Amino acid sequence: MRVLPRSVAGWTIAVFGLMAAVFGTVGLVSPQTVAAGAGFGALSGDGRVFATASSMASLNMGVYYLVATATEWRAFFRFTVPFRLLTFTVFTLLVVTEVAPAAFFGVAAWEAAGAIATGIGLLADRRRHTRS
Protein backbone atom coordinates (compact mmCIF):
# COMPACT_ATOMS: atom_id res chain seq x y z
CA MET A 1 0.00 0.00 0.00
CA ARG A 2 1.32 3.41 -0.94
CA VAL A 3 1.75 5.83 1.94
CA LEU A 4 1.84 9.24 0.23
CA PRO A 5 -1.26 10.56 -1.57
CA ARG A 6 -1.33 10.14 -5.35
CA SER A 7 -3.53 13.11 -6.20
CA VAL A 8 -4.29 16.68 -5.21
CA ALA A 9 -7.62 15.60 -3.74
CA GLY A 10 -5.83 12.80 -1.91
CA TRP A 11 -3.55 15.32 -0.24
CA THR A 12 -6.55 17.34 1.00
CA ILE A 13 -8.14 14.20 2.44
CA ALA A 14 -4.83 13.16 4.02
CA VAL A 15 -4.38 16.53 5.73
CA PHE A 16 -7.89 16.44 7.16
CA GLY A 17 -7.50 12.80 8.20
CA LEU A 18 -4.23 13.44 9.98
CA MET A 19 -5.61 16.50 11.77
CA ALA A 20 -8.79 14.65 12.80
CA ALA A 21 -6.70 11.76 14.15
CA VAL A 22 -4.43 14.15 16.07
CA PHE A 23 -7.32 16.17 17.50
CA GLY A 24 -9.11 12.96 18.42
CA THR A 25 -6.05 11.63 20.20
CA VAL A 26 -5.53 14.92 22.06
CA GLY A 27 -9.20 14.89 23.06
CA LEU A 28 -8.93 11.37 24.42
CA VAL A 29 -5.92 12.35 26.53
CA SER A 30 -7.27 15.78 27.50
CA PRO A 31 -10.93 16.42 26.60
CA GLN A 32 -10.72 19.85 28.27
CA THR A 33 -8.02 20.97 25.80
CA VAL A 34 -10.24 20.30 22.80
CA ALA A 35 -13.32 21.79 24.48
CA ALA A 36 -11.41 24.97 25.33
CA GLY A 37 -10.15 25.26 21.76
CA ALA A 38 -13.73 25.09 20.49
CA GLY A 39 -14.82 27.81 22.91
CA PHE A 40 -16.59 25.66 25.49
CA GLY A 41 -16.12 26.12 29.22
CA ALA A 42 -14.91 23.68 31.82
CA LEU A 43 -16.06 20.11 31.32
CA SER A 44 -17.52 17.90 34.00
CA GLY A 45 -19.77 14.87 34.14
CA ASP A 46 -21.79 14.39 30.94
CA GLY A 47 -19.85 17.11 29.11
CA ARG A 48 -16.59 15.26 29.71
CA VAL A 49 -18.13 11.98 28.54
CA PHE A 50 -19.48 13.65 25.40
CA ALA A 51 -16.14 15.33 24.63
CA THR A 52 -14.33 12.01 25.05
CA ALA A 53 -16.84 10.22 22.81
CA SER A 54 -16.55 12.98 20.19
CA SER A 55 -12.78 12.67 20.34
CA MET A 56 -13.00 8.93 19.72
CA ALA A 57 -15.24 9.62 16.72
CA SER A 58 -12.70 12.16 15.45
CA LEU A 59 -9.88 9.64 15.78
CA ASN A 60 -11.91 7.02 13.91
CA MET A 61 -12.85 9.48 11.18
CA GLY A 62 -9.23 10.49 10.80
CA VAL A 63 -8.25 6.87 10.28
CA TYR A 64 -11.04 6.43 7.70
CA TYR A 65 -9.78 9.45 5.77
CA LEU A 66 -6.19 8.18 5.88
CA VAL A 67 -7.26 4.75 4.60
CA ALA A 68 -9.24 6.44 1.83
CA THR A 69 -6.10 8.39 0.93
CA ALA A 70 -3.89 5.30 0.93
CA THR A 71 -6.30 3.47 -1.38
CA GLU A 72 -7.07 6.56 -3.54
CA TRP A 73 -10.78 5.98 -2.92
CA ARG A 74 -12.07 8.73 -5.24
CA ALA A 75 -15.75 8.04 -4.55
CA PHE A 76 -15.07 8.74 -0.87
CA PHE A 77 -13.27 11.96 -1.79
CA ARG A 78 -16.32 13.13 -3.78
CA PHE A 79 -18.71 12.05 -1.01
CA THR A 80 -16.94 14.20 1.57
CA VAL A 81 -17.47 17.50 -0.27
CA PRO A 82 -21.26 17.91 0.13
CA PHE A 83 -21.28 16.36 3.59
CA ARG A 84 -18.54 18.62 4.90
CA LEU A 85 -20.51 21.57 3.51
CA LEU A 86 -23.56 20.23 5.36
CA THR A 87 -21.46 20.03 8.53
CA PHE A 88 -20.37 23.64 7.96
CA THR A 89 -24.03 24.68 7.65
CA VAL A 90 -25.16 22.88 10.80
CA PHE A 91 -22.21 24.09 12.89
CA THR A 92 -22.70 27.66 11.64
CA LEU A 93 -26.38 27.50 12.57
CA LEU A 94 -25.40 26.36 16.07
CA VAL A 95 -23.26 29.49 16.44
CA VAL A 96 -25.82 31.84 14.85
CA THR A 97 -28.61 30.54 17.11
CA GLU A 98 -26.25 30.84 20.11
CA VAL A 99 -26.42 27.14 20.94
CA ALA A 100 -22.62 26.98 20.53
CA PRO A 101 -20.05 29.66 21.40
CA ALA A 102 -18.73 31.93 18.64
CA ALA A 103 -15.31 30.20 18.75
CA PHE A 104 -17.06 27.04 17.50
CA PHE A 105 -17.39 28.78 14.13
CA GLY A 106 -13.71 27.88 13.64
CA VAL A 107 -14.76 24.23 13.44
CA ALA A 108 -17.41 25.15 10.86
CA ALA A 109 -14.91 27.18 8.82
CA TRP A 110 -12.41 24.29 8.86
CA GLU A 111 -15.12 21.99 7.44
CA ALA A 112 -15.96 24.47 4.67
CA ALA A 113 -12.30 25.06 3.81
CA GLY A 114 -11.69 21.31 3.65
CA ALA A 115 -14.71 20.74 1.42
CA ILE A 116 -13.68 23.52 -0.93
CA ALA A 117 -10.06 22.34 -1.02
CA THR A 118 -11.11 18.78 -1.82
CA GLY A 119 -13.56 19.99 -4.48
CA ILE A 120 -10.81 22.06 -6.11
CA GLY A 121 -8.42 19.11 -5.82
CA LEU A 122 -10.93 16.82 -7.55
CA LEU A 123 -11.33 19.34 -10.39
CA ALA A 124 -7.56 19.75 -10.72
CA ASP A 125 -7.07 15.98 -10.80
CA ARG A 126 -9.77 15.59 -13.45
CA ARG A 127 -8.19 18.30 -15.63
CA ARG A 128 -4.74 16.78 -15.19
CA HIS A 129 -6.06 13.32 -16.07
CA THR A 130 -7.92 14.65 -19.15
CA ARG A 131 -4.76 16.27 -20.48
CA SER A 132 -2.63 13.14 -20.11
Q: What predicted TM-score, i.e. pTM, was given to this entire model? A: 0.86
**φ/ψ of residue 112, rounded to 5:** -65, -45
The CA distance from 42 to 120, in Å, is 38
* Contact between 75 and 122 (Cβ < 8 Å): no
Interval 33-55: pLDDT, tens? 888 887 888 888 888 888 899 99
Interval 70-96: pLDDT, tens? 999 999 999 999 999 999 999 999 999
Domain chopping of the chain, boundaries: 8-126
